[in-house]
């Protein structure tokens, strides 16, 4: 088997594939479907100083080539993360990137200080979340803001520090250079693009929060461009993300300058070693859909999308074992259900 290992800021990953923060929760539900140890790493759900319930529903809206979310950093808080979630993750023989966020610089510093006393491998500082009223994207919208918070968190920890950048800026390369100057060991980009959908019947925004972050295949060319710009502006490594759907996408992003790749909305390249995989996507409420995918060279490729009014309407495929997982990852608005077929 080919050696897929990569090194990011002195940390060795067995392969470059990392589920992005938010979509993967803390991995509990996904472990029932495949071994987490096969991942290069895991970027945890964004963790704040105290528990957050997130924004009010609806928090998910479909859009062509992607989706909008305004979940709002729902998480149990740093104390619960360290006590309950981190010990579980540290047993999985993969690199753990603890994604952190705060409403103030002081909160981010405090979280980093607490993580300094743990065995977590890396800290990913989120200065790019568009779905919170304080902190988040506000920190990463200017060179001065990005440099200030990066410098403060850098002083609070000796662990490798990855700074997650926002695409909702005028010049991302300049912000990348500012964070490098302030002590970032690596960058991750791009986070979601700020977007909005309106229900033409009600004449109101679909999302309760009005706006949300857009992810999915539609933003991939923007991610490639921004990764390329940053790779040509800084010397520190980059973890690329944004619309990665296929293995070719991951390769393209690495050709643009990324050392590793995070996968969010697609979440498909996480399933390897099977000849065929059918992945069903259920959204909360009455609307359901099924997304069929197949594995090609270890990469899950989207094939077609069909509406499913009820679970009983799942198409009949010979020799496919359907495994229904009824629990939602913490903070998620959807449920992945896998059917695996070994040919």
Residue 182 burial (10 A CB sphere; 0-12, 13-18, 19+)? buried
DSSP summary character for residue 81:
I
Is there a catalytic annotation at residue 129?
A: yes
Angle between helices 220-231 and 172-181 (to 10 degrees): 50
- With b for 16 or more beta-carbon neighbours within 10 A and e for fewer, the 207-237 pattern comes to bebeebbbbbbbbbebbbebbbbbbebbebb
Alpha helix stretches (DSSP H) within the chain: 28-31, 78-80, 86-89, 105-116, 143-156, 172-181, 220-231, 247-255
Choose, from 108, 129, 143, 230, the residue flagged as catalytic. Answer: 129
Exposure of 272 in the CB half-sphere (CA atoms within 13 A): 15
Peptide bond into 58 cis (omega under 30): yes
Question: Which residues are the active-site residues?
Answer: 129
């Amino acid at each position: 088997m080919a050696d897929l290992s990569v090194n990011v800021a002195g940390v060795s990953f067995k392969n470059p594939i990392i589920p992005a923060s938010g979509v993967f929760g803390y991995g509990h539900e996904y472990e029932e479907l495949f071994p987490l140890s096969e991942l290069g790493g895991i970027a945890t759900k964004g963790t704040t100083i105290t528990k957050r319930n997130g924004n009010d529903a609806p928090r998910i809206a479909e859009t062509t080539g992607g989706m909008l979310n305004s979940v709002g950093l729902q998480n149990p808080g740093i104390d619960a993360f360290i006590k309950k979630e981190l010990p579980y993750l540290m047993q999985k023989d993969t690199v753990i990137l603890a994604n952190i966020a705060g409403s103030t610089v002081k909160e981010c510093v405090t979280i980093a200080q607490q993580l300094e006393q743990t065995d977590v491998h890396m800290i990913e500082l989120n200065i790019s979340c568009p779905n919170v009223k304080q902190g988040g994207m506000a920190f990463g919208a200017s060179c001065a803001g990005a440099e200030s918070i990066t410098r403060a968190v850098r002083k609070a920890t000796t662990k490798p520090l990855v700074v997650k950048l926002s695409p909702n800026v005028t010049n991302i390369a300049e912000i990348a250079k500012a964070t490098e100057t302030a002590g970032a060991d690596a960058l991750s980009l791009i986070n979601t693009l700020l977007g909005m959908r309106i229900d033409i019947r009600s004449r109101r925004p679909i999302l309760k929060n009005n706006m949300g972050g857009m992810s999915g295949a539609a933003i991939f060319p923007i991610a490639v461009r921004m990764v390329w710009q940053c790779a040509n502006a800084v010397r520190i490594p980059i973890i690329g993300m944004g619309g990665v759907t296929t293995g070719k996408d991951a390769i393209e992003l690495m050709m643009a300058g990324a050392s590793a790749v995070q996968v969010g909305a697609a979440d498909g390249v996480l399933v390897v070693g099977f000849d065929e995989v059918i992945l069903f996507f259920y959204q909360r409420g009455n609307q359901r859909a099924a997304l069929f995918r197949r594995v090609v060279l270890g990469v899950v490729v989207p094939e077609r999308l069909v509406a499913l009014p009820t679970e009983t309407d799942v198409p009949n495929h010979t020799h496919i074992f359907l495994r229904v997982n009824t629990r939602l990852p913490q903070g998620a608005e959807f449920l992945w259900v896998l059917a695996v077929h070994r040919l």
